[in-house]
Amino acid sequence: MRLTYLLALATSVSMPALAAAQDMSVPQGSAATNTDDEEELGGALGSDAVIGNEIIVTGRSVLPGAVDTPYEPIQTFEESDIAAYGASSIAELLDAISPQTGSGRGRGGGRPVMLVNGLRITSWREMRNIPPEAIRQMQVLPEEVALQFGYSADQRVVNLILKDNFAAGTGAGEYNRPTRGGYDNYELETGIFSVSGPRRYNLSAKLTETSMLTEDERGIAREPGEMPTVAGDPDPRRFRSLAGDESELEINGTVTQGLGEGGMNGQITGNLAYTRTVTNSLSGLDTFTLSDGAGNSEIRTYDDPLARRVSTDLFEGGLGYNRQIDGWQLSITGDGAYTDTATRVDRRRDTSAIEADALAGNIDIAGALPELPGPGVDFARNRTLALTSLATLSGRPVSLPAGDASLTLKAGYDYSRTLSDDTRSEFDTVRLTRGDVSAGLNLALPLTSRNNYFLDAIGDLSLNLGAGINHLSDFGTLTNWTAGLSWSPTETLTLQATYLGEEAAPTLSQLGSPQIVNYNVSVYDFTNSTTALVTATSGGNPDLLKEKRRDIKLSANWQLPFLDRSNLVLEYFRNRSDNVSQSFPLLTPAIEAAFPDRVTRDQNGSLIAIDQRPVTFDKVSSSNVRWGFNISGSLGANEPSSAGAPARAQNSEARRGPGRPGGGRNFDPARFEAIKAALCTEGQEPDLSALPEPMLARLRKEDGSIDKERLAAMRERICNSDGPPSRAGGAAAPASPPPARRGPPGGRWNLSLYHTWRLSEDVRIGPNSPVLDQLSGESLAAGGTPRHSIEAEGGFFLNGNGARLKGEWSAPAHVNGTGAPGSSDLRFGSTFVLDLRIFVDLGGKESLVQKMPFLKGSRLSFTVDNILDSRQKVTNAGGEIPIAYQRGYRDPQGRVIGIDFRKLF
């Protein structure tokens, strides 16, 4: 879309552009001398260009593929910023910037919503193996932007803008080992990635191997009654794993193809992946007690460990389609996954016959044990099929005085099915299914605008409204809605307020898993301060209720007036929920009082049975403040971001979007040279895929084909030009070198720090129950809730080499005991984990490459996870560490040192 404001410039004497026009002494009534392709080139370069005697004011996004949204990005990363992290994959890059991509809302989890070139993708698989070197720019956007793409607003959004042309093969190897020893981990990975305009493909394979870590290798202490008392009997700690050995193979392939000439008819994406994972773990030895008639006893063990093997085959596939239709963006994605998990678990031996013989004096309780055949194994198999589909249609249906309204419509259908078999259960195959039909809309309305001169004294103010509905085949209908305001009183400050109301259903397993009765289950009884062997019932609970959520988010994003691409972020979150489905919590007196029908005691008050099926809490509420800053700067001779403009100006352009008034900027000479190379390289056909959308739209006929005469005229003007049009005012723009790549002279540094302050974490179990303050130790689960936590990351990158530090700290927390004799409070100490990554660009060492040409394009990295070997300390009131909370349990690995070699071909 292109907007020309000649009439406004001629009639409004208050506009600064008019004064500039008068200074140029443009003759009144002169005929326009520009051609459409010149005008379109000005728009493609994002300039306020002077062509002939006209001033052409055009507007567009900073880069093709940027997200058009009224919300200010949390952070924008240019090529030099991305190179400064030394990441080998998108997954590593996202992990490195987790302080910026993490959400404080407390509803979602895992990675942020991912976009590629401003478009929704089929799944994470589609882009997880893209080399970071292929990224031209990366935007981190707030949770509200997810609504524009059909997602819920519980996770931040990351948009990757890829380079127009890039091709590389990668090979990498990584080895990791704890300084305390015990196990090894290595990874081998290879891949091919290519992008050429609307066409790209990505093929990759990865093998990961990790050995087992046992309790013996970490010096874990056990209760005296759990260790053998006869010399020569094996130590069960050698056969109880803290981390199992694991082998994983991943194969992944993605192809994206533009449709029509130059990709003008949209694009289609296909993805296929297979993952095979095998894990082996040990659960110790068969341990039992032999007693003779004289009252003597010995604890004995057999040397055959109790093993568990889990193998998983995961087949995944996705299909996506994106196309512009009369100014509307249509996106259709479908994704499917079939998971087949098989579990093999050794049964315990029945030692009752041996115990009877010992008591009768038939065998020596400290002598050789008789042969006892193994009791066999139990098998369990779970097969899960998950299919998801979503279609969204986004466009600008109406123009308002403050700008264009933006509308997103969505509709989708999800299906899930689970089949479970278990020889330990008395039930046959258990089948659970759920279908989910969904629909919704999101509407963004600009209310005031500085750029459109409509109530511009207020600044930029926009309203966001959304609503949706889900109908679940096994549960019923759920609704959700959202309302939000975004206000930018200045170019550098953005304030946001969002209110979300939604309903949620329990999971399939929480509702319909089969009821299974397990005998002799060890449960701690807080009432009697004893450990009891009880009959425990697990499974689903069909009586769970619909959860109702009401969340508030308030935030401010201030672009700092110093340094480059630096900002301050402040966020407040308040969550309120009714009828929350939870797994059955720790059996405290408060829980027993709230669910008396779940607990069975004998006439002496001893605990004999417990129903551990999921429960519904009456109310759960929390609130927290999260604030942080991102600061960065240049080192040496490295250039600033792509157009040399401050990030806040770029972000402002991105929010205005294509076709918005006032969106013009100074042109990018590097962009012009790329366009010229695509059209004017001798001996090659014009590469239309490298042209910006405005130029392609000008070349397109009504039937979608390319107008050859128009293309020839455009080539003649551009190929014979020494440079792009001048800026408004006629001054020539300074030359700008190409964007920085890995290994050039100069570099960058950055620091990001975020602090979360939890103001409240309250639970009311039942309507007549007291409110439990989890921040004050009234916890429903072991672990406690810290009031404060800090995330930080930072480092530098210079001449292809760099160093990164990432740290996470959590304040101490505690869990109250019951006050009964023998019960004790537990204190969970603070945690501080600091990770280091140092990388060296071997390919940038010319003298080294001359001696060893293989090192061209290679990088060597050294990593140290948990540099301080920090592990949480848990103590009771007497300062003792309980057996169950030994440091080896809290963090079995400790400090881990790794080396990583990667080569880009």
For the chain, the first-to-last Cα distance in angstroms comes to 39
Q: What integer is the mean pLDDT of 534-543? A: 86
Q: For the chain, give the percent of residues with pLDDT over 70.
A: 83
Q: Is residue 196 part of a domain?
A: no
* Model confidence pLDDT, tens digit, residues 353-375: 999 999 998 999 999 998 888 78
529: left (phi over 0), alpha (psi -120 to 50) or beta: left
Q: Is residue 782 part of a domain?
A: no
CATH of the domain at 86: 2.170.130.10
Which of 149-158, 524-533, 757-766 is predicted most confidently? 757-766
Q: What is the pTM of this model?
A: 0.79
The verdict on 93 and 150 lying in the same domain is yes
Q: Is residue 225 part of a domain?
A: no
Rounded CA-CA distance 244/344 in Å is 14
How many other C-beta atoms are found inside a 10 Å radius of the C-beta of residue 627?
17
636: left (phi over 0), alpha (psi -120 to 50) or beta: left
Residue 78 phi, psi (nearest 5): -90, 180
Q: Is residue 447 part of a domain?
A: no
Look at 448 and 823; give whichever has higher pLDDT: 448
Q: Is residue 894 part of a domain?
A: no
DSSP 236: G
* Total domains, the chain: 2
The verdict on 109 and 39 lying in the same domain is no
Last residue of a domain, one of 727, 742, 771: 727
State the pLDDT confidence band at 71, using cuts at 50, 70 and 90: confident
* Model confidence pLDDT, tens digit, residues 485-517: 999 999 899 999 999 999 999 988 888 877 777
- Secondary structure (3-state) at 489: strand
Look at 12 and 86; give whichever has higher pLDDT: 86
Q: Is residue 34 part of a domain?
A: yes
Last residue of a domain, one of 103, 136, 163: 163
Q: Is residue 309 part of a domain?
A: no
The verdict on 37 and 100 lying in the same domain is no
Burial class of residue 842 (count of CB atoms within 10 Å of its CB; 0-12, 13-18, 19+): buried
Among 591, 888, 841, which Cα is nearest to 741's? 841
The verdict on 25 and 48 lying in the same domain is yes
The verdict on 86 and 158 lying in the same domain is yes
pLDDT for position 703: 58
Domain containing residue 111: 75-163
Q: What integer is the mean pLDDT of 825-845? A: 92
Last residue of a domain, one of 163, 198, 224: 163
Three-state SS string over 836-857 comes to EEEEECHHHCHHHHHHCHHHCC
Strand pairing category for 607-611 and 530-538: parallel
Strands in 602-666 per DSSP E: 607-611, 615-635
pLDDT at residue 793 greater than cutoff 90: yes
pLDDT for position 405: 94
pLDDT for position 548: 96
Three-state SS string over 655-686 comes to HHCCCCCCCCCCCCHHHHHHHHHHHHCCCCCC
Burial class of residue 166 (count of CB atoms within 10 Å of its CB; 0-12, 13-18, 19+): middle
State the pLDDT confidence band at 53, using cuts at 50, 70 and 90: very low
The verdict on 48 and 82 lying in the same domain is no
Among 46, 3, 1, 6, which Cα is nearest to 26's? 6
Q: Identify the residue whose tokens are 């660009």.
A: 841
The verdict on 651 and 705 lying in the same domain is yes
* Model confidence pLDDT, tens digit, residues 646-677: 344 444 444 443 333 333 334 456 567 777 77
Q: What are the angstrom distances between the C-alpha of 755 and each of 96, 154, 157? A: 17, 19, 20
Q: What integer is the mean pLDDT of 573-588? A: 89
Q: What integer is the mean pLDDT of 190-209? A: 94
Structure tokens at 58: 């055009």
The verdict on 659 and 712 lying in the same domain is yes
Burial class of residue 619 (count of CB atoms within 10 Å of its CB; 0-12, 13-18, 19+): middle
Query: Which residues sit opposite 333 in a β-bridge?
Result: 320, 390
Query: Which residues sit opposite 835 in a β-bridge?
Result: 806
Look at 211 and 704; give whichever has higher pLDDT: 211
Rounded CA-CA distance 289/227 in Å is 10
Look at 18 and 854; give whichever has higher pLDDT: 854
Structure tokens at 495: 């304030």
The verdict on 27 and 103 lying in the same domain is no
User: 22-31, 108-117, 218-227, 756-765: which range is least confident on average?
Assistant: 22-31
Average pLDDT score, the chain: 82
The verdict on 80 and 39 lying in the same domain is no
pLDDT for position 313: 97
The verdict on 83 and 157 lying in the same domain is yes
Which of 248-257, 665-674, 708-717 is predicted most confidently? 248-257
pLDDT for position 451: 87
* Model confidence pLDDT, tens digit, residues 307-341: 999 999 999 999 999 998 988 999 999 999 999 99
Q: Is residue 41 part of a domain?
A: yes
Look at 28 and 119; give whichever has higher pLDDT: 119
The verdict on 52 and 125 lying in the same domain is no
